[in-house]
């Protein structure tokens, strides 16, 4: 029969509390990033809606130069937003990997994946 000493028991409780705190921190960071992604996605939607209203009259008047200019400007703006979303989603994936590894032996294979790139 294995007997835990008081020290082993206390260390186990401390490790559990430390792991819980780390997980809470990572979940908080992930939630913040997810909210930022939602905000950026709403910015994309707004840019596309504005494009539609801005371009409609130019299309009615067959002003293709203005239509093309609005398209180019809006595409640049939307592409920039999409890059931001992709970067934040990569950070979220890194946080998910970190959460998967909370409490695991850091020297175990794969335990350090996703530890970089989190700011």
> Rounded to a whole number, what is the largest CA-CA distance in the chain?
88
> Quick one: pLDDT at residue 6?
81
> Quick one: pLDDT at residue 92?
97
> Quick one: pLDDT at residue 53?
95
Whether residue 10 has pLDDT greater than 90: no
Q: Which of 76, 81, 78, 77 is nearest to 37 (CA)?
A: 81
Q: What are the residue ranges spanned by the domains of the chain?
A: 29-96
pLDDT digits (tens, 9 = 90+) for 47-106: 999 999 999 999 999 999 999 999 999 999 999 999 999 999 999 999 999 999 988 876
> Quick one: pLDDT at residue 70?
96
Name the helix (H) or strand (E) containing 106: none
Whether residue 25 has pLDDT greater than 90: yes
Q: Quick one: DSSP state of residue 110?
A: T
Bigger pLDDT: 113 or 77?
77
Whether residue 114 has pLDDT greater than 80: no
């Amino acid at each position: 029969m294995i007997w835990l000493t008081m020290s082993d028991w206390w260390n186990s409780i401390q490790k559990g509390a430390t792991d819980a705190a780390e997980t809470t921190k990572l979940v908080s960071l992930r939630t913040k990033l997810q909210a930022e992604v939602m905000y950026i996605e709403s910015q994309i939607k707004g840019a596309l809606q504005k494009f539609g209203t801005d371009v409609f009259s130019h299309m009615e008047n067959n002003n293709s130069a203005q239509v093309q200019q609005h398209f180019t400007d809006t595409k640049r703006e939307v592409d920039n937003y999409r890059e931001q979303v992709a970067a934040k989603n990569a950070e979220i994936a890194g946080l998910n990997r970190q959460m998967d590894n909370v409490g695991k032996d850091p020297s175990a294979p794969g335990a350090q994946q996703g530890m970089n790139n989190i700011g």
